[in-house]
Amino acid sequence: MAMTVKKIIDLLNKDLELEYSAAIQYINHSAVMSGASYGDIIKELKIHANEEIQHAMALADQIDYLGGKPSIDVGKIYTADDNVEMLEQDLAGEEDAIKRYKIRVEQAEDMKEYALAQQLRTILAMEQEHAMDIKQALGK
Ligand SMILES: [Fe+2]
Ligand SMILES: [Fe+2]
């Protein structure tokens, strides 16, 4: 199935909404998590929140460049009362993002949108780092 500009804009807008929700989820989790042994990961989660905002900005710029309207809707946000459960929620989000961005890089390259593909690769690499940070904290 040939990818059209309209279709990739719609997909990037879904990615954008999930970057917004990831940022909010990290702000929430890093604020409510507690316990001395969680100090390091709490700091990491705050860094992740800022990086998700950077991803949102990059995606919004790319959507605008392609002639689309960047979404201001926010994806679903998950939270819990338990630290481990929150980290599992964060890991699930990162694993979903990794899956989506791998597909998105291919789609951008198929369309010869190489600058977009490059931005998506950078984002993908950061999502992989986020997933690794969380896995380490979970002892996985
Ligand atoms: Fe992100
Ligand atoms: Fe991430």
3-state secondary structure the chain: CCCCHHHHHHHHHHHHHHHHHHHHHHHHHHHHCCCHHHHHHHHHHHHHHHHHHHHHHHHHHHHHHCCCCCCCCCCCCCCCCCHHHHHHHHHHHHHHHHHHHHHHHHHHHHCCCHHHHHHHHHHHHHHHHHHHHHHHHCCC
Domain CATH code at residue 36: 1.20.1260.10
**How many domains does the chain fold into?**
1
The residue-averaged pLDDT of 59-88 equals: 98
Q: Which ligand is nearest to the CA of 17?
A: 1
Cα 6 to ligand 1 centre (Å): 22
- Predicted local confidence at residue 21, as pLDDT: 98
pLDDT at 2 over 80: no
pTM: 0.96
Which residue in 116, 1, 14 sits closest to 65, CA to CA?
116
CA of 62 to the centre of ligand 1 (A): 14
| Closest ligand to Cα 93 | 2
d(CA 1, CA 25): 34
Model pLDDT, residue 3: 82
Q: For residue 90, is pLDDT > 90?
A: yes
The confidence score (pLDDT) of residue 1 equals 56
User: What's the CA-to-centroid distance between 115 and ligand 1, angstroms?
Assistant: 18
- Ligand 2 center from residue 69 Cα (angstroms): 23
Q: How far is the CA of 78 from the centre of ligand 1 (A)?
A: 16
How far apart are the CA of 4 and the centre of ligand 1, in A?
Answer: 24
